[in-house]
Amino acid sequence: MKNLFLIFLLLPFFTFSQNKRALTVDDLWKMKRVGYFEPSPDGKKIVFELTSYSMEENKGHTDIYIMESDGKDLHALKSTDKNETLPKFTPDSRKVSYIKDGQIWLCNTDGTGEEKLTDIYTQVSDYKWARDGKKILFASSVYPDCKDQDCNKAKDDEKEKSPVKARIITGLMYRYWNDWRDDKRSHLFLFYPGEKDYIDLNLNSESDVPPVDLGSTDDYNFSPDNLEIVLTMNTSKVVALSTNNNVYVGKVSEASVNGASALSKISESKGNNFHPFYSPDGKYLAFLSMERPGFEADKKNIILYDRSGGTSKNVTSKFNLSVDDIIWSPDSKAIYFVSENEIYSSIFKLDLNSGEIKLLLKEHINSLPNISPDGKVLYFKQQRTNLPDEIFCMNSDGTDIKQLTHINAELLSGIEMNPLETFWCEGADKTKIESIIIKPPFFDPAKKYPVIFLIHGGPQGHWDDDFHYRWNEQLFAAKGYVVVSPNPRGSTGYGQKFTDEISGDWGGKPYIDLMKSFDYAINNFKFIDKNNQFSAGASYGGYMENWMEGHTTRFNAVVSHDGVFNAESEYGTTEELWFPTWEFKGAPWQNRKLYEKWSPHMYIQNAKTPMLIIQGGMDFRVPEEQGFQLFTSLQVLGVESKLLYFPNEFHFVIKPQDARLWWNTVFDWFAKHKK
């Protein structure tokens, strides 16, 4: 009788487990993605972007949703056949602005009363409200010397009508990520909604605001009294060689008349300075700053600029981690920020009076912190390896964490995913290395599973507790693999010294760290099948796959996605020249021995492992010639190899149908080489 009772007791559990299934590629693209969000200034409501994807139409669509600040009454605010993005409350909280068809629109908080604010030919890419609600700053890509929109339109029309599509290029950087920059630059405009009038604040300037690289949409803003603006700009002659973004301030009245010439530089570092925010009381400006010029992965510190005294202070110099998103407390006495912290992105609080930094929330990947007007509640996005981004809140002391949205709850309820686990081992020089391990769904410890060894890009990046929509560790595991993802030196989240130690040593200690991490997993987890070992990586991870191709035969098969193969030739085709200049200690003609030492093409004659090469035709960071050189070399050497080429994708594969082909090709490649 007891046994019968136990069976009935466990029946719901067994039924629930049996109804679940493994994650699929189509599941990944059915999930709706929470984007930018913002609480209202009065603290009563939250608006956010929600993007859905159609596999059939091969594209995404973004709508705007609104809810009470406690998560109740969630509903669509704007859901049409158009993309509506970047929702922001007006300063009085009565209306919501957003971008549609490249223009700023306005509506009531119930979605009615839609009004088009801007009608600028070159369109709006981002915007910020002044606190008085009478002014807006927005960015738009224009011809620097055009004094009006008619001029911009005339130049575009002339290009369009001409049968000659040649480009005449006279300087760097002439292309970026997947775009040809041509002659246009992003300029900052001051817009008066009441008069429908806008002013180009950096007319005739060749500098982009926000900067073309290492910048963000948080690189300009109004002061609390609406009289001053702050912006980030790189005025270097050759931006392809410079990370020297600087922070400038100027009076609105003077900037309206004199443009960029009315601005004053307040940042002092020759590295990257960006992300400026005024304190609510107007006394200070806080911004992020890197010290070393030319190094995009240097430690980011918070610089506090005293507006009355004109002095600056580094308030995180003794903090071991690099700072990301920052926000002020309403009373201007504290700054909340996010830092990569081992495999997490954690939320911290900096008390400006004492200088004390307190960890509020360590676990998971937290981003976009916001705070209620009374300073009592923090709002933020959070994701985990088994949970896509949702909006959360907690008390400003780190207590009482609540999940406010459950966008993908129904879909997730039917999918079996194991939470991540971690292990530490000794790498080169006995340095401690952390790795993530994820077990396949319906895991049985008595069974043996093939393993996929994942190598992250950057190289100054890290594997973390995120739900990645491209390199999703849960999806790799869903096909019955154990996934091992190490963070070797060069990874972020473990202190700046650890991050620095990859530069000039790409195939050295980081390679040893990786191999020792993999050895540890193979030798300590008995459920891993030693006869079925696979590896995959992208960007620097692709480089490392190419490097391993000439240095080990331990894997059954590998995947290299957009990875550097010939370090010297890549220097001449990539766009961010400061990157190889820093990583290889100069240009090839200055330090050819180092380029040759760490270039995979110098060792390709040793290749034996079957390799799948994936390359984007629009990848200007690691251009297609790298993938072509690698494939040609392997084919000539008689090494089993396959090239998957996406002519319209760039460093990332972002179209749903292309992504499905990517995943299926990778899984087929591994399945083909299982023993």
Please state the domain count of the chain: 3
Residues 427 and 408 in one domain: no
Are 345 and 462 in the same domain? no
Q: Is residue 158 part of a domain?
A: no
**From CA 315, how far away is CA 348, in angstroms rounded?**
13
Q: Do 506 and 410 belong to one domain? A: no
Residue 10 predicted with pLDDT over 80: no
For residue 157, pLDDT beyond 60: yes
Q: Say yes or no: 510 and 652 in one domain.
A: yes
Residue 98 corresponds to which amino acid?
A: Y
Same domain, yes or no, for 591 and 622? yes
Residue 1 has pLDDT above 80, yes or no: no
pLDDT in tens, 186-217: 999 999 998 888 999 988 999 999 999 897 88
Res 258: pLDDT: 67
Q: Are 178 and 620 in contact (CB under 8 A)?
A: yes
Task: Using pLDDT thresholds of 50, 70 and 90, give the confidence band for residue 254.
Answer: confident
The tokens describing 542, both together, are 């692709």
Beta strand 175-176 with 179-180 is antiparallel
| pTM (two decimals) | 0.95
Return d(Cα 302, Cα 292) in angstroms, integer.
Answer: 15
566 and 513 in one domain?
yes
126, pLDDT greater than 50: yes
Boundaries of domain holding 106: 32-117
Q: Has residue 273 been placed in a domain? A: no
Q: Is residue 27 part of a domain?
A: no
Three-class DSSP category at 21: strand
Asked whether the beta carbons of 631 and 659 are under 8 A apart, the reply is no
Whichever domain contains 571, its CATH number is: 3.40.50.1820
8 pLDDT more than 70 = no
Residue 287 belongs to a domain: no
Is residue 4, in this structure, part of any structural domain at all?
A: no
Percent of the chain beyond pLDDT 70? 96
Are 405 and 549 members of one domain? no
Higher pLDDT, 215 or 348: 348
Give me the pLDDT at residue 259, please.
63
Mean pLDDT, residues 504-525: 98
Tell me, yes or no, whether 666 lies in a domain. Answer: yes
Q: Please indicate, yes or no, if residue 505 is contained in any of the structural domains.
A: yes
Q: What are the CB-based long-range contacts (under 8 Å, 24+) for 62-71?
A: 62/35, 64/96, 64/98, 66/96, 66/109, 67/404, 67/405, 68/44, 69/39, 69/40, 69/43, 69/44, 69/45, 69/372, 69/377, 69/379, 69/393, 70/404, 71/391, 71/402, 71/403, 71/404, 71/405
Choose, from 345, 619, 633, 673, the residue flagged as catalytic. Answer: 619
Domain check: are 470 and 537 in the same one?
yes
For residue 18, name the pLDDT band (cuts at 50, 70, 90).
low
Of 40, 312, 396, 539, which residue is the catalytic one? 539
Distance CA 475, CA 27 (A): 10
Q: For 54-72, what is the mean pLDDT?
A: 98
Question: What average pLDDT does this structure show over 81-86?
Answer: 97
Residues with Cβ < 8 Å from 362, sequence gap 6 or more?
Answer: 341, 344, 346
Per-residue model confidence (pLDDT) at position 21: 98
- What confidence tier does 184 reach under pLDDT thresholds 50, 70, 90? very high
pLDDT exceeds cutoff 60 at 521: yes
In angstroms, rounded to a whole number, what is the distance separating the alpha carbons of residues 556 and 608? 10
DSSP 250-295: EEHHHHHHHGGGG-EE----SS-EEEEEE-TTSSEEEEEE-SSTT-
Do residues 424 and 410 share a domain?
A: no
- Residue that terminates a domain, selected from 92, 117, 142: 117
> What average pLDDT does range 23-36 have in this prediction?
98
Q: Which of 415, 434, 456 is the last residue of a domain?
A: 415
The answer to whether residues 518 and 646 belong to one domain is: yes
Is the pLDDT score of 518 beyond 50? yes
539 is catalytic: yes
CA diameter of the chain: 89
Predicted confidence band of residue 256 (pLDDT cuts 50, 70, 90): low
- pLDDT tens digits, residue range 624-665? 999 999 999 999 999 999 999 999 999 999 999 999 999 999
- Asked if 316 and 302 touch (Cβ cutoff 8 Å), the reply is yes
Model confidence over 607-630: pLDDT tens digits? 999 999 999 999 999 999 999 999
% of the chain exceeding 90 in pLDDT: 94
Whether the CB-CB separation of 190 and 252 falls below 8 Å is answered with: yes
Residues 402, 533, single domain; the answer is: no
State how beta strands 449-455 and 482-487 pair. Answer: parallel
Catalytic residue chosen out of the listed positions 462, 561, 601, 651: 651
Task: Answer yes or no: do 425 and 378 share one domain.
Answer: no
- Domain end residue (candidates: 89, 117, 145): 117
Residue with tokens 């492992």: 609
Question: Distance between terminal CA atoms of the chain?
Answer: 47
Task: Tell me: cis bond preceding 173? Omega within 30 of 0 counts.
Answer: yes
What mean pLDDT do residues 463-476 have? 98
Work out the average pLDDT over 129-150: 96
Query: Among 16-25, 51-60, 108-117, 164-173, whose mean pLDDT is lowest?
Result: 16-25
**Would you say residue 316 lies in a domain?**
no
Known catalytic residue at 406: no
Instruction: Judge residue 169's burial from the number of C-beta atoms within 10 Å of its C-beta, 0-12 exposed, 13-18 middle, 19 or more buried.
Output: exposed
d(CA 211, CA 230): 13
